[in-house]
């Protein structure tokens, strides 16, 4: 199973799961976007970045890396910090940063190399072992339990998934959230058992009867409609922001000052400076 792929899918769907995992309960975490970005100098794609809105220069950028298999080369730390510093060099953000390294099991951690010992007690770096999470905490948190499911042994994964589905039916605050959680649990099992068909997995998890109920079908349709509408809104916002960035670059090239460009485009001065540094 490609473990990092399923984590990216989870955090793309529920970015709030990440912040619960690291213990950040601030309501401002809802303003973050989870995405991938390319380092232009190397054409290297960095996945797993949580970026705050441009106006929140006091909030840190979070870099998340996921490890669910034995790192034979034992260079996960070198690669992780290299990605972070390549990004910082290329984009020169004004924000501070945090690096979060997530292992499904503690035994998969090769240990922090001596060259990076300065980060051992640094607030900028945290590593998390999903199999070491306090059961008293995960038993109360449906989201953390779903994250732990990614790393459980295959021989108990089906049983654990059924338990989580039952919990979702009881604990989900509404039908939309219940449907989304159950589909996410199903997706985790699909990733864990790529050679089993979806129909067999639905049978394994006892989902056939649930998915055929009128209530579930109505929630599914409503969730699809809401998702489509939100996607259109996000697309419009990103398009408008992209146009502003392009306009800012053109105005800077014509000799306008950073302050003048910021006033015209309504972008933050720090962001205009970043564009100026890249030109």
**Domain ranges within the chain, ordered by starting residue:** 1-138
- The closest of 79, 132, 78 to 105, measured between CA atoms, is 132
% of the chain surpassing 70 pLDDT: 81
Architecture of domain 1-138: 3-Layer(aba) Sandwich (3.40)
C-alpha distance across the termini of the chain, in Å: 41
- The tens digit of pLDDT for each residue in 150-169 reads 888 888 999 999 999 999 98
What are the CA-CA distances from residue 115 to residues 18, 88, 119 (Å)?
28, 19, 9
| 3-13 vs 142-149: helix crossing angle, rounded to 10 | 160
- The tens digit of pLDDT for each residue in 16-73 reads 999 999 999 999 999 999 987 776 655 566 778 999 988 899 999 999 999 888 888 8
- The tens digit of pLDDT for each residue in 235-270 reads 555 566 667 777 777 777 767 777 777 776 777 777
Residue 200 pLDDT: 84
Residue 68 pLDDT: 85
Contact call for residues 108 and 68 (beta carbons, < 8 A): yes
Q: Is 161 helix (H, G, I), strand (E, B) or coil?
A: helix
Q: Is the pTM of this model over 0.75?
A: no
């Amino acid at each position: 199973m490609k473990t990092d792929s399923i984590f990216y899918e989870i955090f793309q769907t529920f970015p709030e799961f990440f912040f619960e995992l690291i213990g950040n309960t601030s309501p401002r975490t809802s303003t973050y976007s989870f995405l991938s970005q390319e380092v232009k100098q190397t054409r290297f794609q960095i996945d797993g970045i949580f970026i705050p809105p441009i106006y929140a220069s006091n909030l840190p950028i979070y870099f998340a890396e996921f490890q669910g298999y034995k790192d034979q080369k034992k260079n996960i730390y070198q690669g992780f910090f290299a990605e972070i510093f390549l990004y910082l060099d290329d984009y020169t953000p004004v924000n501070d940063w945090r690096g979060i390294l997530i292992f499904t099991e503690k035994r998969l951690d090769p240990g922090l190399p001596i060259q990076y010992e300065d980060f051992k007690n640094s607030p900028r770096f945290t590593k998390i072992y999903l199999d070491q999470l306090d059961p008293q905490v995960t038993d109360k948190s449906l989201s953390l339990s779903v994250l732990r499911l990614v790393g459980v042994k295959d021989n108990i994964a089906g049983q654990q998934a059924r338990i989580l589905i039952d919990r979702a039916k009881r604990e989900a605050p509404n039908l939309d959230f219940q449907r989304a959680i159950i589909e996410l649990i199903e997706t985790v099992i699909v990733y864990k058992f790529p050679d089993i068909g979806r129909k067999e997995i639905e049978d394994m998890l006892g989902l056939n009867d649930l998915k055929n109920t009128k209530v579930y079908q109505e929630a599914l349709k409503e969730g699809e409609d809401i998702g489509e509408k939100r996607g259109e809104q996000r697309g419009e916002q990103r398009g408008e922001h992209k146009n502003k960035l392009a306009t800012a670059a053109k105005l800077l090239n014509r000799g306008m000052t950073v302050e003048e460009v910021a006033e015209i485009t309504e972008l933050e001065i720090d962001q205009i400076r970043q564009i100026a540094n890249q030109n």
